[in-house]
Amino acid sequence: MVLSYYGITMTQQQLQPIFRPNPGDKHVEPPQLVAFFPHYGLRTRIVEGGSIEVVKRLVAAGFPVITPQWLDHKPDAIGHYRVVRGYDDNRGGFIVNDSMLGPDVLIPYDEFEELWRAFNYRYLPVYRPEDELRVLAILGEDADPQRNYQRALALFQRLAEERPDDAYVWFSIGTSYFLLGDHQAAVQAYERAEAIGLPPKMLWYQFWPVAAYNNIGNHQRALELATAQIATAGTFGEMRYERGRAFEAMDNIDAAIAEYRRALLDDANLTVAREALARLGAAP
Protein backbone atom coordinates (compact mmCIF):
# COMPACT_ATOMS: atom_id res chain seq x y z
CA MET A 1 0.00 0.00 0.00
CA VAL A 2 3.02 2.28 0.21
CA LEU A 3 3.26 2.38 -3.60
CA SER A 4 -0.06 4.20 -3.84
CA TYR A 5 1.46 7.05 -1.81
CA TYR A 6 3.71 7.70 -4.81
CA GLY A 7 0.96 7.20 -7.38
CA ILE A 8 1.95 3.64 -8.32
CA THR A 9 -0.83 1.09 -8.63
CA MET A 10 -0.13 -2.61 -8.19
CA THR A 11 -2.52 -5.34 -7.12
CA GLN A 12 -1.87 -8.10 -4.61
CA GLN A 13 -2.01 -10.52 -7.55
CA GLN A 14 0.84 -8.64 -9.24
CA LEU A 15 2.93 -8.49 -6.07
CA GLN A 16 2.52 -12.10 -4.95
CA PRO A 17 4.89 -13.74 -7.48
CA ILE A 18 7.51 -11.12 -6.61
CA PHE A 19 7.39 -11.54 -2.84
CA ARG A 20 5.71 -14.91 -2.34
CA PRO A 21 6.01 -17.20 -5.37
CA ASN A 22 4.71 -19.94 -3.09
CA PRO A 23 1.34 -18.83 -1.64
CA GLY A 24 2.09 -20.78 1.53
CA ASP A 25 5.04 -18.52 2.37
CA LYS A 26 4.29 -16.68 5.61
CA HIS A 27 6.55 -13.64 5.48
CA VAL A 28 8.28 -11.02 3.37
CA GLU A 29 11.70 -10.15 4.73
CA PRO A 30 12.76 -6.46 4.97
CA PRO A 31 15.72 -7.01 2.57
CA GLN A 32 13.18 -8.09 -0.03
CA LEU A 33 11.55 -4.68 0.28
CA VAL A 34 14.93 -2.96 -0.05
CA ALA A 35 15.53 -4.84 -3.30
CA PHE A 36 12.00 -4.25 -4.60
CA PHE A 37 11.52 -0.49 -4.45
CA PRO A 38 14.31 0.58 -6.85
CA HIS A 39 12.39 -1.12 -9.67
CA TYR A 40 9.77 1.61 -9.18
CA GLY A 41 12.09 4.57 -8.72
CA LEU A 42 12.01 4.44 -4.93
CA ARG A 43 14.34 3.49 -2.12
CA THR A 44 14.11 2.30 1.44
CA ARG A 45 16.50 1.31 4.20
CA ILE A 46 16.12 -0.86 7.28
CA VAL A 47 16.54 1.02 10.56
CA GLU A 48 16.42 -0.51 14.04
CA GLY A 49 15.39 0.91 17.39
CA GLY A 50 12.88 3.46 16.17
CA SER A 51 10.54 5.65 18.16
CA ILE A 52 7.18 7.32 17.81
CA GLU A 53 8.95 10.64 17.37
CA VAL A 54 11.26 9.62 14.52
CA VAL A 55 8.35 8.07 12.63
CA LYS A 56 6.41 11.30 13.10
CA ARG A 57 9.33 13.38 11.79
CA LEU A 58 9.64 11.21 8.69
CA VAL A 59 5.92 11.31 7.99
CA ALA A 60 5.80 15.08 8.55
CA ALA A 61 8.58 15.42 5.97
CA GLY A 62 6.50 13.52 3.43
CA PHE A 63 7.97 10.02 3.74
CA PRO A 64 5.69 7.04 4.46
CA VAL A 65 7.16 4.53 6.89
CA ILE A 66 6.76 0.74 6.86
CA THR A 67 6.75 -0.93 10.28
CA PRO A 68 6.64 -4.67 11.05
CA GLN A 69 4.24 -5.38 13.91
CA TRP A 70 1.85 -7.92 15.32
CA LEU A 71 -1.55 -7.67 13.66
CA ASP A 72 -3.28 -7.60 17.05
CA HIS A 73 -2.87 -8.63 20.68
CA LYS A 74 -4.06 -12.23 20.32
CA PRO A 75 -1.71 -14.88 21.76
CA ASP A 76 -1.32 -16.46 18.30
CA ALA A 77 -1.15 -13.17 16.39
CA ILE A 78 0.45 -13.02 12.98
CA GLY A 79 3.20 -10.64 11.91
CA HIS A 80 2.13 -7.79 9.70
CA TYR A 81 3.46 -4.71 7.91
CA ARG A 82 1.74 -1.37 8.45
CA VAL A 83 2.39 1.76 6.39
CA VAL A 84 2.33 4.97 8.43
CA ARG A 85 1.06 7.81 6.25
CA GLY A 86 0.11 10.41 8.83
CA TYR A 87 -0.53 11.15 12.49
CA ASP A 88 -3.05 13.06 14.57
CA ASP A 89 -1.84 14.29 17.93
CA ASN A 90 -5.34 15.50 18.79
CA ARG A 91 -6.57 11.91 18.59
CA GLY A 92 -3.24 10.54 19.83
CA GLY A 93 -2.30 8.14 17.08
CA PHE A 94 -0.83 7.26 13.71
CA ILE A 95 -2.89 7.06 10.55
CA VAL A 96 -1.91 3.88 8.75
CA ASN A 97 -2.71 1.96 5.62
CA ASP A 98 -3.33 -1.61 6.64
CA SER A 99 -3.85 -4.40 4.13
CA MET A 100 -6.03 -6.25 6.66
CA LEU A 101 -7.94 -3.34 8.20
CA GLY A 102 -8.05 -0.88 5.31
CA PRO A 103 -6.74 2.63 4.55
CA ASP A 104 -6.65 5.56 6.97
CA VAL A 105 -6.88 3.52 10.17
CA LEU A 106 -6.04 5.35 13.40
CA ILE A 107 -3.85 3.36 15.80
CA PRO A 108 -3.16 5.02 19.18
CA TYR A 109 0.51 5.67 19.85
CA ASP A 110 0.67 3.40 22.90
CA GLU A 111 -0.97 0.50 21.05
CA PHE A 112 1.25 1.07 18.02
CA GLU A 113 4.36 0.88 20.21
CA GLU A 114 3.12 -2.25 21.99
CA LEU A 115 2.52 -4.09 18.71
CA TRP A 116 5.89 -2.90 17.37
CA ARG A 117 8.23 -3.73 20.28
CA ALA A 118 8.65 -7.41 19.40
CA PHE A 119 10.20 -6.37 16.08
CA ASN A 120 13.08 -4.33 17.51
CA TYR A 121 11.17 -1.11 16.71
CA ARG A 122 12.30 -1.66 13.11
CA TYR A 123 11.15 0.77 10.43
CA LEU A 124 11.67 1.40 6.72
CA PRO A 125 11.15 4.92 5.36
CA VAL A 126 10.27 4.92 1.65
CA TYR A 127 11.49 7.81 -0.48
CA ARG A 128 12.62 8.95 -3.91
CA PRO A 129 16.39 8.89 -4.54
CA GLU A 130 16.56 12.67 -4.79
CA ASP A 131 15.22 12.89 -1.22
CA GLU A 132 17.82 10.61 0.36
CA LEU A 133 19.81 13.43 1.98
CA ARG A 134 16.66 14.69 3.68
CA VAL A 135 15.93 11.21 5.02
CA LEU A 136 19.52 10.79 6.23
CA ALA A 137 19.34 14.13 8.02
CA ILE A 138 16.27 12.97 9.93
CA LEU A 139 17.90 9.65 10.81
CA GLY A 140 21.08 11.28 12.09
CA GLU A 141 23.53 8.72 13.50
CA ASP A 142 21.04 5.95 12.71
CA ALA A 143 21.91 6.44 9.03
CA ASP A 144 25.06 4.43 9.80
CA PRO A 145 24.04 0.76 10.25
CA GLN A 146 26.67 -0.15 12.84
CA ARG A 147 25.90 2.89 15.00
CA ASN A 148 22.22 2.17 14.56
CA TYR A 149 22.61 -1.43 15.76
CA GLN A 150 24.67 -0.29 18.75
CA ARG A 151 22.14 2.38 19.68
CA ALA A 152 19.25 -0.09 19.32
CA LEU A 153 21.09 -2.52 21.59
CA ALA A 154 21.63 0.19 24.20
CA LEU A 155 17.96 1.18 23.97
CA PHE A 156 16.70 -2.33 24.66
CA GLN A 157 19.29 -2.91 27.37
CA ARG A 158 17.87 0.13 29.16
CA LEU A 159 14.37 -1.22 28.66
CA ALA A 160 15.48 -4.56 30.11
CA GLU A 161 16.44 -2.77 33.34
CA GLU A 162 12.92 -1.34 33.53
CA ARG A 163 11.14 -4.47 32.27
CA PRO A 164 13.32 -7.50 33.12
CA ASP A 165 10.47 -9.95 32.45
CA ASP A 166 9.57 -8.61 29.01
CA ALA A 167 10.34 -11.36 26.49
CA TYR A 168 10.12 -8.96 23.55
CA VAL A 169 12.78 -6.72 25.05
CA TRP A 170 15.17 -9.66 25.46
CA PHE A 171 14.38 -10.92 21.98
CA SER A 172 15.18 -7.48 20.58
CA ILE A 173 18.44 -7.43 22.53
CA GLY A 174 19.24 -10.68 20.75
CA THR A 175 18.27 -9.15 17.42
CA SER A 176 20.72 -6.31 17.93
CA TYR A 177 23.52 -8.63 19.01
CA PHE A 178 22.88 -10.79 15.95
CA LEU A 179 23.06 -7.77 13.65
CA LEU A 180 26.32 -6.76 15.33
CA GLY A 181 27.76 -10.23 14.69
CA ASP A 182 27.86 -11.40 18.34
CA HIS A 183 25.96 -14.63 17.85
CA GLN A 184 26.76 -16.12 21.25
CA ALA A 185 25.31 -13.08 23.02
CA ALA A 186 22.34 -13.20 20.63
CA VAL A 187 21.62 -16.80 21.60
CA GLN A 188 21.87 -15.97 25.31
CA ALA A 189 19.36 -13.15 24.90
CA TYR A 190 17.06 -15.38 22.87
CA GLU A 191 17.17 -18.08 25.53
CA ARG A 192 16.26 -15.49 28.17
CA ALA A 193 13.28 -14.43 26.05
CA GLU A 194 12.32 -18.04 25.41
CA ALA A 195 12.41 -18.81 29.14
CA ILE A 196 10.08 -15.90 29.85
CA GLY A 197 7.74 -16.98 27.07
CA LEU A 198 7.37 -16.07 23.39
CA PRO A 199 4.31 -16.34 21.13
CA PRO A 200 4.13 -19.55 19.08
CA LYS A 201 4.66 -17.72 15.78
CA MET A 202 7.58 -15.53 16.89
CA LEU A 203 10.13 -17.31 14.70
CA TRP A 204 7.86 -17.28 11.67
CA TYR A 205 8.86 -13.66 11.17
CA GLN A 206 12.27 -13.35 12.80
CA PHE A 207 14.32 -16.48 12.38
CA TRP A 208 17.75 -15.22 13.33
CA PRO A 209 17.88 -17.47 16.45
CA VAL A 210 18.11 -20.56 14.23
CA ALA A 211 20.86 -18.94 12.15
CA ALA A 212 22.65 -17.92 15.35
CA TYR A 213 22.63 -21.48 16.69
CA ASN A 214 24.14 -22.65 13.40
CA ASN A 215 26.70 -19.87 13.52
CA ILE A 216 27.95 -20.87 16.98
CA GLY A 217 28.07 -24.56 16.03
CA ASN A 218 25.01 -25.78 17.94
CA HIS A 219 23.58 -27.46 14.87
CA GLN A 220 21.38 -29.89 16.76
CA ARG A 221 19.52 -27.02 18.42
CA ALA A 222 19.21 -25.29 15.05
CA LEU A 223 17.64 -28.44 13.63
CA GLU A 224 15.24 -28.73 16.53
CA LEU A 225 14.06 -25.13 16.28
CA ALA A 226 13.78 -25.20 12.49
CA THR A 227 11.86 -28.46 12.53
CA ALA A 228 9.40 -27.08 15.09
CA GLN A 229 8.74 -23.99 12.95
CA ILE A 230 8.25 -26.02 9.78
CA ALA A 231 5.76 -28.23 11.64
CA THR A 232 3.55 -25.24 12.40
CA ALA A 233 4.15 -23.02 9.37
CA GLY A 234 4.39 -25.69 6.68
CA THR A 235 6.01 -23.75 3.86
CA PHE A 236 9.20 -22.19 5.23
CA GLY A 237 12.15 -21.83 2.86
CA GLU A 238 14.38 -20.03 5.34
CA MET A 239 14.01 -22.77 7.95
CA ARG A 240 14.67 -25.42 5.29
CA TYR A 241 17.82 -23.51 4.40
CA GLU A 242 18.96 -23.45 8.03
CA ARG A 243 18.31 -27.20 8.28
CA GLY A 244 20.48 -27.58 5.19
CA ARG A 245 23.25 -25.54 6.83
CA ALA A 246 23.06 -27.71 9.94
CA PHE A 247 23.20 -30.97 7.99
CA GLU A 248 26.06 -29.67 5.86
CA ALA A 249 28.06 -28.71 8.94
CA MET A 250 27.42 -32.18 10.34
CA ASP A 251 28.77 -33.73 7.08
CA ASN A 252 25.38 -35.12 6.09
CA ILE A 253 25.65 -33.75 2.57
CA ASP A 254 22.79 -35.74 1.06
CA ALA A 255 20.40 -34.42 3.70
CA ALA A 256 21.77 -30.89 3.21
CA ILE A 257 21.15 -31.04 -0.54
CA ALA A 258 17.62 -32.32 0.05
CA GLU A 259 16.89 -29.43 2.42
CA TYR A 260 18.33 -26.79 0.10
CA ARG A 261 16.19 -28.17 -2.73
CA ARG A 262 13.13 -28.13 -0.51
CA ALA A 263 13.96 -24.55 0.46
CA LEU A 264 13.76 -23.56 -3.21
CA LEU A 265 10.44 -25.37 -3.57
CA ASP A 266 9.15 -23.32 -0.66
CA ASP A 267 10.66 -20.08 -1.97
CA ALA A 268 12.05 -19.97 -5.50
CA ASN A 269 13.60 -16.56 -4.74
CA LEU A 270 15.78 -17.87 -1.91
CA THR A 271 19.15 -17.14 -3.49
CA VAL A 272 21.21 -18.48 -0.58
CA ALA A 273 19.74 -21.97 -1.06
CA ARG A 274 20.52 -21.89 -4.78
CA GLU A 275 24.09 -20.76 -4.00
CA ALA A 276 24.48 -23.55 -1.44
CA LEU A 277 23.49 -26.16 -4.01
CA ALA A 278 25.92 -24.71 -6.54
CA ARG A 279 28.69 -24.80 -3.92
CA LEU A 280 27.95 -28.49 -3.33
CA GLY A 281 27.85 -29.20 -7.06
CA ALA A 282 24.17 -30.16 -6.95
CA ALA A 283 21.41 -29.14 -9.33
CA PRO A 284 18.49 -27.14 -7.88
* Res 1 pLDDT > 70: no
Which H/E stretch holds residue 60? helix 52-60
**In a 3-state reduction of DSSP, which class is residue 22?**
coil
What are all long-range contacts of 35-43, with beta carbons under 8 Å and residues at least 24 apart?
37/126, 40/3, 40/6, 40/8, 41/6, 41/128, 41/129, 42/3, 42/6, 42/126, 42/127, 42/128, 42/129, 43/126, 43/127, 43/128, 43/129, 43/132
pLDDT, one tens digit per residue, over 163-203 is: 999 999 999 999 999 999 999 999 999 999 999 999 999 99
Phi-psi category of 30—alpha, beta or left, where left has phi over 0 and alpha has psi -120 to 50?
A: alpha
**Extents of the domains making up the chain:** 2-143, 146-206, 217-284
Exposed (0-12), middle (13-18) or buried (19+): which is 101, by Cβ within 10 Å? middle
In the chain, pLDDT over 70 holds for what percent of residues? 96
CATH architecture of the region 217-284: Alpha Horseshoe (1.25)
Q: What is the pTM of this model?
A: 0.93
Asked whether this chain's domains 146-206 and 217-284 adopt the same fold, the reply is: yes
Contact 121, 171 (CB under 8 A): no
Contact 210, 178 (CB under 8 A): no
Q: Which CATH class is domain 146-206?
A: mainly alpha
Instruction: With cut-offs at 50, 70 and 90, classify the pLDDT of residue 124.
Output: very high
Q: Looking at the domain 2-143, which fold is it?
A: Cathepsin B; Chain A (3.90.70)
pLDDT at 4: 83
* Res 60 pLDDT > 80: yes
Question: In DSSP terms, which residues pair with 93 in a beta bridge?
Answer: 88, 108
